[in-house]
Chain A
Amino acid sequence: MLQKVFGRQPLGAVFAAPYAVFLVLVFAYPLGLAVWISFHDYFFAAPGAVVERPFVGLANYRTVLGDPDVRRSFVNVAIFLVINVPLTVGLSIVLATALNSVARLRTFLRVSYYVPYVTASVALVAVWLFLFSSGGLVNQVLGPLAPDPSWLVNAGLAMPVIAVFVTWKSLGFFILLYLAALQGVSGDLYDAASVDGASPVRRFWHVTVPGVRSATTLVVILATITGANLFTEPYLLTNGGGPDGASTSPVFVMYQKGIEQGNPDVASAIGVVLVLLVLTISLVNRKLLERD
């Protein structure tokens, strides 16, 4: 009887139950709740208070799509992705290939590239604030070439600085993915290419790059997701998405509208739009992922 309901090994259901409940509580239910809130006139009320929250159809979505702040934040993320994704893919594939080929100082080199990944954003933002402040080291080195206004308060440079910061911070993880993928590229292909007289650069383009294509798909997806998640950097590095909203992100706008201004319905609609975008990107690449 027990086996009929729960399968061949009912104990498995018992072992997995806490995790299943956890996923329902922090993933499935909130996802449903986000959708529900986004279709209603929702506001915060005291715990336990019974309040009316009328259905408003697509009104919140219309508000979101018509809001210049929200549109600005999506444009900002697009700028972020245009800089961050090619930089991340290019640097991590080249660095992983180079790291794979050297035997000396292996530990030192890998630790150097991974360590920003394991460090808290808040701590790293602190140093970047110092480095990129108007009288900071970066401008001192640049001298007369220093941008005016300075990096973090310059509308044209704030988002690119954030994109470079995130590239630096997360590159170690992507190098790790590429190093794993490189182990799967057959050495015979390199030997064959060498015999044919291919230069190292040609070998890189014609053997390495196609050989790690599935990893590239994964890196592009994960880097895009990171972009959809930006919060700490606009909040701290550019002092709240400044200057004048030039470096806001959708999650930052969600925080402002949902929690600071008390419009969780509008904020939820932003969240739903973002989830749909992220899922679409991932589904487009699903076939490539399943091949692994």
Chain B
Amino acid sequence: MRRYLSMTALLVGALVFLFPFYYMVVGSLQESPDTTVRGALPLGGWTLDNYAAINGRVDLVRSLLNSAIFTGGVMLGTVVFGVLAGYALARLHFRGRGTLFAVMLLVQIVPFQLLIIPIYVMVVRYYGLADSYLGMIAPFAINSTAVFIFRQFFLQLPDDLFAAAQLDGASELRILWSIALPLVRPALLTAMLLTFIGPWNEFLWPFLVTKDTELQPLAVTLANYISNIAGRAANPFGAILAGAVVLAAPAVALFVAFQRRFTDLNLGSGVKG
């Protein structure tokens, strides 16, 4: 009895959680938005025009490419320098390790948004990196949560393995490359998926640093469309929702495809201080 009750509650909750996604897709495919209750289950009036409309207003392909470059840059920085740092923090004894670890934890508590003014001053005024991919990527270049996860996974590897490799005279670089990395490959994928979400969905920073529409990622172009020009479109909500579907789809698709990696990941250890 109790099982059925919690199952029913969970299913109802899940449908409530998913409804806005359903409504987003349906709304993006309608000729004219019908906001009545019946309109939530439309039988006709399907069209792809809204996708053409949003593509006419903002350069979708260009925006997607910018999002991909921004996200790709962050992922590259994280996988190269984050893995090195995570490995050093887990396996190597060097001076300053404790301090670095403490600062890494502190970074997760003090959010980036609170430092936007000085970072804006540095990136835009000191280094003149406004309207550049580098300026967009730089503050996110290494994801600290990913570094933490890398460290956790390297810590879990058996000590004997490293001792044996050292006895055999393998260099640290060789141990990392040939022994440690292959063992944590599944964890790498998980951390990279997690890293993907950040820059792909980020709005505030690219919004501040790019004024040139040629460089803006999709989250920014869509937000600008919503706040500036939506009123002038024939079917503003249809076009907005079409843009929202395009922005949401890659992250949702990756998440659904690799959902086991998210759900099985013990994120608790990833954020606990």
| A binding-site residues for B, Cβ under 8 Å | 5-13, 15-16, 18-20, 22-23, 25-31, 33-34, 37, 44-45, 47, 95, 98-99, 101-102, 104-105, 107-116, 118-131, 133, 135-137, 140-141, 168, 171, 173, 176-177, 180-181, 200, 215, 218, 221-222, 225, 228-229, 231-232, 235-236, 239-240, 251, 254-255, 258-259, 264, 267-268, 271, 274-275, 278-279, 282, 286, 289-290, 292
**In the complex the two chains form, what is the Cα distance from A26 to B120 in whole Å?**
10
State whether B219 touches A122 (Cβ < 8 A). Answer: yes
Q: Which of A129, A137, A177, A271 contacts B226 (CB 8 A)?
A: A129
- How far is B226's CA from A240's CA once the two chains are assembled, in angstroms? 12
Task: For B120, give the chain A residue with the smallest CB separation.
Answer: A259
Residues of A within 8 A of B87 (CB): 15
Number of interface residues of B (CB under 8 A): 104
- Residue of B at shortest CB range from A134? B35
CB-based contact A19/B115 at 8 Å: no
Tell me, yes or no, whether B197 is within 8 Å of chain A by CB.
Answer: yes
Chain B 82-98, CB-CB to A under 8 Å as 1, else 0, gives 10110111011111110
CA distance A144 to B149 in the complex (A): 51
A137 B93 Cβ-Cβ under 8 A: no
| Given known contacts A180-B268, A271-B114, A113 and B119 CB-to-CB distance under 8 angstroms | no
> B residues touching A (Cβ–Cβ < 8 Å)?
2-3, 6-7, 9-11, 13-15, 17-18, 20-21, 23-24, 27, 33, 35-37, 39-40, 81-82, 84-85, 87-89, 91-97, 100, 103-104, 106-107, 109-122, 125-128, 138-139, 141-142, 144, 147, 172-173, 176, 197, 200-201, 203-204, 208, 219, 222-223, 226-227, 237, 240-241, 243-245, 247-248, 251-252, 254-256, 259-260, 262-263, 266-269, 271-273
Q: Contact between A27 and B248 (Cβ–Cβ < 8 Å)?
A: no
- The smallest beta-carbon distance between A218 and chain B, in angstroms, is 7
Residues of chain B within 8 A of A13, CB atoms compared = 88, 94-96
CB–CB B115/A34 < 8 A: yes
* Min C-beta distance of A280 to chain B, whole Å: 11
Q: How far is the CA of A258 from the CA of B11 in the complex (A)?
A: 46
A111 touches B95 (CB 8 A): no
Q: Of the candidates A7, A102, A221, A286, which one forms a contact with B3 in the assembled complex, judged by CB atoms under 8 Å apart?
A: A102
B113 contacts across to A, CB distance below 8 A: 228-229, 231, 251
Contact for B204 among A128, A176, A177, A232, CB less than 8 A: A232
What would be 30 A-B contacts, judged by CB atoms less than 8 Å apart? A7-B93, A7-B95, A9-B172, A16-B89, A16-B97, A26-B115, A26-B141, A27-B115, A30-B115, A34-B117, A37-B118, A113-B17, A116-B20, A118-B201, A121-B201, A123-B245, A130-B33, A137-B23, A168-B17, A171-B17, A176-B267, A215-B268, A231-B203, A232-B223, A235-B223, A251-B114, A271-B116, A271-B117, A286-B273, A292-B273
> Within 8 Å CB of B14, what residues of A?
108-109, 112-113
Contact B10 A124 (CB under 8 A): no
Q: Are B85 and A130 in contact (CB under 8 A)?
A: no
B116 touches A251 (CB 8 A): yes
- Give the CA-CA distance A215 to B13 in the complex, in Å: 22
